[in-house]
């Protein structure tokens, strides 16, 4: 008697989409594909209302090469300086938490201008599903024109460091690549890294990568691949991995890991100060 073995494969459209993205799309598009994963969406706790504070900065705008305008929350140093820190928001958008984090970073770094970029063109989400739509609908060409516009706003002689979380973590790295010889330092929190060696060769800044060992999306394997690509490209990378979950240090996360967040923040500040001297 002959037996026919039938292999049944459970098909997940979201997973299939993510796998398709991973083989041929940019790192930021790969990360955006996670919005089709319900687990990823639910891993982001909805932000609590931000505390009421007096803000140190204000919104500013600049021209972009597509004929439009970009905007950012700007905190200007007390003394004229060409040192800049670009802050890139998480998937919620440029909300009050990010503005308050920009104020905090400027105060701790001192004589540095801080620009918290608005990559969503004024859109902000407070619900997971809305954030997923915003991140999933991002047009990379538009985001790049915003970053390039901010670089022009800073000037050719600026020294630019970058920092970002989650969605902003990946774009922090891409911003530093776009900055060319103006790039001073890059801090990326659990964002999708660039692993294409030829693109990484255009990076002119050291990178501090802050990751979470329990992250189901930017996994330890993804981090290892990033380390290998950076080594092959001849670039400097410092990795700090914390025993925590994805989004553990997001400023708007009501269930953040306080201990890991504090340690990571101290690492980031020390790294930025060192390279923005």
**Domain presence at residue 4:** no
Residue in the structure block whose two tokens are 């701790």:
108
The rounded percent of the chain whose pLDDT value lies above 70 is 90
Q: Using DSSP, state whether 134 is helix, strand or coil.
A: helix
Q: Would you state the pLDDT for residue 21? A: 42
For the segment 35-63, the average pLDDT, to the nearest whole number, is: 94
What is the CB neighbour count within 10 angstroms for residue 41?
Answer: 17
Q: What is the pLDDT of residue 250?
A: 79
* 5 is a domain residue: no
In this prediction, residues 51-64 reach a mean pLDDT of 96
- 1 found inside a domain: no
* CATH code (residue 47): 3.40.50.1820
Residue 126 belongs to a domain: yes
The alpha carbon of 20 is separated from its chain's Cα centroid by a whole number of angstroms, namely 22
Report the alpha-carbon distance of residue 166 to residue 144 in Å, rounded.
17
Q: Is residue 34 part of a domain?
A: yes
- Among candidates 237, 229, 269, 187, which has minimal Cα distance to 221? 229
Position 24 scores a pLDDT of 62
Q: What is the pLDDT of residue 22?
A: 45
Residues 148/65, Cβ–Cβ less than 8 Å: yes
In the structure encoding, which two tokens stand for residue 163, read together? 């920092």
Band (253; pLDDT cuts 50, 70, 90):
confident
In a domain, residue 187? The reply is yes
Integer Cα distance of 92 and 79 in angstroms: 32
Q: Which domain holds residue 89?
A: 13-275
Whether the per-residue pLDDT at 274 is higher than 50: the answer is yes
Q: pLDDT per residue over 112-159, tens digit each?
A: 999 999 999 999 999 999 999 999 999 999 999 999 999 999 999 999
Across the chain, mean pLDDT equals: 91
Query: For the packed helices 258-275 and 96-109, what is the interaxial angle rounded to 10 degrees?
Result: 50
- Condensed to tens digits (0 to 9), the pLDDT of residues 84-110 reads 999 999 999 999 999 999 999 999 999
Give the pLDDT of residue 271: 98
Q: Is residue 7 part of a domain?
A: no
Given this model, what pLDDT does residue 16 score?
38
Mean pLDDT (whole number) for 182-199 = 97
Predicted local distance difference test score (pLDDT) of residue 29 = 93
């Amino acid at each position: 008697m002959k037996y026919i073995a039938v292999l049944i494969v459970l098909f997940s459209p979201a997973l299939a989409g993510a796998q398709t993205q991973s083989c041929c799309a940019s790192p930021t598009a790969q990360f955006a594909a996670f919005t089709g994963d319900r687990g990823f969406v639910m891993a982001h706790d909805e932000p609590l209302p931000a505390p009421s504070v007096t803000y140190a900065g204000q919104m500013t705008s600049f021209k972009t090469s597509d004929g439009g305008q970009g905007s950012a929350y700007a905190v200007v140093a007390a003394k004229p300086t060409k040192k800049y820190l670009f802050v890139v928001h998480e998937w919620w958008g440029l909300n009050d938490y990010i503005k308050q984090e920009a104020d905090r970073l400027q105060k701790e770094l001192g004589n540095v201008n801080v620009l918290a970029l608005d990559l969503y063109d004024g859109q902000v989400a407070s619900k997971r599903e809305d954030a997923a739509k915003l991140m999933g609908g991002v047009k990379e060409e538009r985001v790049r024109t915003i970053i390039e516009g901010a670089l022009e706003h800073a000037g050719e002689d600026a020294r630019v460091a970058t920092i970002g979380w989650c969605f902003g973590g990946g774009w922090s790295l891409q911003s530093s690549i776009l900055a060319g010889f103006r790039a001073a330092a890059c801090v990326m929190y659990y964002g999708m890294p660039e692993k294409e060696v030829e693109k990484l060769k255009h990076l002119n800044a050291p990178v501090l990568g802050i990751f979470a060992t329990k992250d189901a999306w930017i996994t330890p394997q993804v981090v290892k691949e990033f380390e290998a690509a950076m080594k092959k490209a001849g670039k400097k990378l410092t990795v700090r991995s914390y025993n925590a979950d994805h989004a553990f240090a997001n400023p708007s996360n009501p269930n953040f890991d306080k201990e890991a967040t504090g340690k990571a923040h101290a690492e980031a500040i020390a790294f930025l100060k060192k390279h923005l001297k």
